[in-house]
Structure 1
Amino acid sequence: MNHSAFKRRELLQAAAGATALGTLPQVFAQGNFDWKRYAGQSLEVHLIKSPRGELLQRHQKEFEDLTGIKVGAEQMPEQQSRQKTVIEFNSGRTSFDVVHLSYHVQKRQFAKGKWMEDLRPMFANAAPPDFDQKDYSAGGMFYATQSDGRIDSLPLNLDPWILYYNKELFAAKGVAYPKSYAEILEAAKKLHDPANGVAGFVGRGLKNANVPLWTGFFLGWGGQFFDAAGKLATETPEAIASATLYRDLLKTTGPAGIAGYNWNESQSLFLQGKAAMWIDGSGFAPPLEDATKSKVVGKVGYGVMPPGPKAQVSATFGDGIGVSSFSKKKEAAFLYIVWATNKAMQARMLATGSGAPVRLSAYGDKEAIANLKVPAAWLTAVAESLRIAKPGLPIIEPVTEFRDVYGIALNNMLTGGDVAAELKKATAEFAPVVAKSES
């Protein structure tokens, strides 16, 4: 990725000369590739209810007209989707040909069952000339690639965590954007003003939801979820130091009741102008710039996570789309996922704020940039964050249990629990769970 391509000036210049999004180039008919080769077939597509799912359904007719393939698509809330897909995959028959998945929860689970088709043979034999596999970001392809080398999905969206900050509050107290983890805490303390109802920092304190905030700091400390021998490494000095920062930020500079805050409470406080900093997923930006909801329109800064003591990391999550191994129409289903993740669709995703595209080309698309619903600074932060992206949760089957166990430990720290003791207890509780899942 070209670093300079994402500087604010270049982005604004690109936006200034762009045309409407409706004229996004559709470069489908290339060479001798026959998009109609499976015309007359029908596909069932299972989507997670999300902005990405809505975008795909909104443009579904484009795929149908292009290929002559009829699509039946459903969107289902994430929890119900997880239940449905596991039941159907375990039965050996799926009602869907194409499946949308959350990598941070389902990647390892789907891999163990080999529930999705290995796409590598299709890349060479069934992909259109404009497929351009190298255009997918390294972070996206990391998620899409299993440990045995199989690529059993195409990445659709990445959600890097960024630092939102209130520029007005920073300027009023002469505080500079933090350049390290220590400076995040230092800035939060300077900006914390409970007498005026302003928290120096807000973030997730609610158990389970809180884990990604801690793990982001953990990765910046150079932490690894497992050591070289495969042993759980969540009571190490890096784990303790990062959890201590988590506790200190929320407990000493957060709002009252922080232990009950999820992303929505954090966002609400920030958009009211009552929090100086907030770390969370990049997809939460649009409401901050909506004058009907936000008191901080035009005052929000979008920053890349500062370096930790050992590494600069943006904890990142993502989703992808693949072909069911039980589908009888794998080749037609492959065409759908290629279309779903093509350059035009990814540019639309960016422009509508439906997610952070995994295709690098989207971030240089003039028309998408011209139609951004958030400032160009957000795009810069997202693009730079994707360069330092690492999965924010361990890629294991019992990831929900991981969040539950460590979420309780973090919550206990906010209410007086000793950091090292809580991590030791959580590690002892979770170790047999993960060991059983890998046996």
Structure 2
Amino acid sequence: MSEITRRTTLRVAAGLLAAPALVERVGAQQAFDWKRFKGEKVEASLTANPRSALLLRHQPEFEELTGIKVGAEQIPEQQHRQKFVIEFASGRPSFDVVGISLHVNKRQVGRAKWCTDLRPMIQDATLTAPDFDFGDFGKGAVAYSTQADGRMDTLPEFTDYFILYYNKDLLAAKNIAVPKTFEELYTAAKALTDPSKQQYGFVGRGLRNANVVLWSSFLLGTQQQDTVSPDMKLLTDTPDAVWAGQMYQKLMRDCAPPGSIGFNWNECQTTFMQGRAAFWIDGVGFAAPLEDKARSRVAGKVGYAVVPAGPAHHNCCLFGTGLGISEQSSRKGPAWYYVQWAVNKTNQLRFLTSGAGAPARSSPFRNEEAIKESRFPREFFETLVESARIARPGLPEIVPVTEFRDTIGAALTNMVGGADPAAELKRATEAFRPVLEQSERGT
């Protein structure tokens, strides 16, 4: 029996044995009350990003609403993943609530059952606010937060779609239309590349590990689409995978700035903000600084579009995050209150209108008044809605995701250096296959 259920049972039992006035008071306590856990404290471990920054900024709202104190920390992405895995494995995590990158850690967290199943809490009217509105969460986001065994061990927070950013002025100067296919993207990017002016047609991730999701964007446009089959066989050296590698190589070698072999999203963002790149494919969560007139030379000149189509399909990469509650937590009730608040309709709308990313809820996209007042053009919101329709996971749901990204990423980095895509992907596939097989055996 969970601590929350046991506590509730004991409270009810005590009330039934007490005076009628106490019985009446216990009955009243069964209704949802934001102050139920007043005086308690929860610890939250979050990944440093614009969404977490918003939650920390508005945290006093939650503390005033509930009387619960929150100790929240933001940790850079890579360090955060390492930290919570180590703490969970120790059996004594320091946090009650944890932010999980589902595209990296979903299967690992699910297999180890590190986070509690939230379904009983969602269904408990004494623990879940009447206006929680679970049906407001997108079906794709809910599926992403649900494990293969049916346990929902995170609540959807954020869905990250890869989109096409473009510099309107650079395209207009040469009368170039927004590309509809990857081949059109390459042709346009090549035409807009002029190293003598430090102007490049494309900027994208070249750094090992980080670069895999750009290659995935191209692969999703092929007949194959996936990197791992349902029966856990690698599909990373097939003709479609090689085609995606060739497209990646052409754009990065012929159209990207020098040094991009070491670029992650932040270097790409800086290059685009400086007006030195015509196109950039990356996550919607990186849009906000682009429209900051104090920091960006392209503010007000940024175009937003869905990623181009491939030769067989039109998809975009989907990534996502969720908030989980540690199975080891002794404060699951207060933690659940925090999670509810963190992904309520107000905070999800803040994500959208500030450019911090695409919320997991559907209602923010219907808030016309807020969208009109946003500093982002309508094109931005239309792109998110359309991206949601064509989104597919950009990484396989396997435990050794980091090793997968490292191994395939090294092959992609070699391609930027001029290596043959087919040979590199064959070598990387052979290197990673035993890692995946060992992982599937649970050894």
Calculate the TM-score normalised by the size of structure 2.
0.88
Aligned to 1:27: none
Instruction: For 1:342 and 1:223, locate their aligned partners in 2 and report how far apart those are by CA, in whole Å.
Output: 34
Aligned residue in 1 for 2:90: 91
1:378-389 aligned at under 5 Å gives the runs: 378-389=380-391
Answer yes or no: is the 8 Å Cα contact 1:349–1:356 preserved in 2. yes
Which AA in structure 1 matches 2:387? S
Between the two structures, name the one with larger relative contact order (CA 8 Å, sep ≥ 6): 1
**In structure 1, distance between residues paired with 2:50 and 2:172:** 34
Q: Which amino acid aligns with 1:410?
A: L
CA contact under 8 A between 2:287 and 2:356: conserved in structure 1? no
Written as runs of structure 1 = structure 2, the 5 A alignment for 1:234-383 is 234-383=236-385
Backbone CA RMSD of aligned residues: 1.9
User: Do the aligned residues in 1 keep the contact of 2:288 with 2:356 (CA within 8 Å)?
Assistant: no
Q: Which runs of 5+ in 2 are unaligned?
A: 1-29
Question: Per-residue deviation at 1:135?
Answer: 1.2
Q: Which moved more, 1:319-328 or 1:48-57?
A: 48-57
For structure 1, list consecutive stretches of 5 or more residues without a partner in the other structure. Answer: 1-30
With over 3 angstroms needed to count, the CA separation of the structure-2 counterparts of 1:270 and 1:79, relative to structure 1, is closer
Residue in 2 that maps onto 1:168: 169
Aligned partner of 1:229 in structure 2 is 231
Distance 2:67 2:59 in 1: 12
Contact 1:110 1:116 (8 Å CA) reproduced: yes
C-alpha displacement at 1:274, in angstroms?
A: 2.0
Contact 1:210 1:407 in 2 (8 A): yes
Q: Which residue pairs with 2:217 in the alignment? A: 216
SS in structure 2 of the partner of residue 416 of structure 1: coil
Alignment of 1:22-101 (within 5 A): 32-101=31-100
Superimposed CA distance per residue, residues 224-280 of structure 1 (whole angstroms, 9 cap, x where no aligned partner): 122243211111111011111111111122223332222223222222222211111
Deviation, 1:200, is 1.6
CA-CA distance at 1:323 after TM superposition:
0.9
Structure showing greater radius of gyration is 2
Which of residues 410, 420, 434 in structure 2 aligns to 1:418? 420
Aligned equivalents of 1:212, 1:259: Cα separation in 2: 14
Cα gap change, 1:297/1:74 in structure 2, threshold over 3 Å: closer, same or farther? closer
Structure 2: how far apart are the matches of 1:68 and 1:261?
A: 44
| Residues 202 and 277 in structure 1, CA contact (< 8 A), matched pair in contact too | yes
Contact 1:208 1:403 in 2 (8 A): yes
Deviation string for 1:293-341 (max 9, x for gaps)? 2222222111111222222211122211111111122222112111110
Do 1:201 and 1:254's aligned partners in 2 also have CA atoms closer than 8 Å? yes
Check whether the contact 1:348–1:368 (CA below 8 A) recurs between aligned residues. no
Following the alignment from structure 2 to structure 1, what is the Cα–Cα distance between the partners of residues 162 and 194? 25
Q: List 4+ stretches of structure 1 deviating above 6 A.
A: none
Deviations 1:170-194 (A, max 9, x none): 1222211111122111222222233
Name the CA shift for 1:429/1:284 in 2 (closer, same or farther; >3 Å). Answer: same
Which residue in the other structure is 1:179 paired with? 180
Letter in 1 for 2:109: F
Aligned residues: 409
Separation in 1, partners of 2:272, 2:77: 26
CA distance in 2, matches of 1:39, 1:388: 43
Kindly state the Cα deviation for residue 409 of structure 1 after the two structures are TM-superposed: 0.4
Q: Is the 8 A contact 1:251 1:258 kept in 2?
A: no
* Code of the aligned partner of 1:397: V
Structure 2 counterparts to residues 399-418 of structure 1, below 5 A: 399-418=401-420
Q: What's the TM-score, normalizing by structure 1?
A: 0.88
Deviates more, 1:390-399 or 1:416-425: 390-399
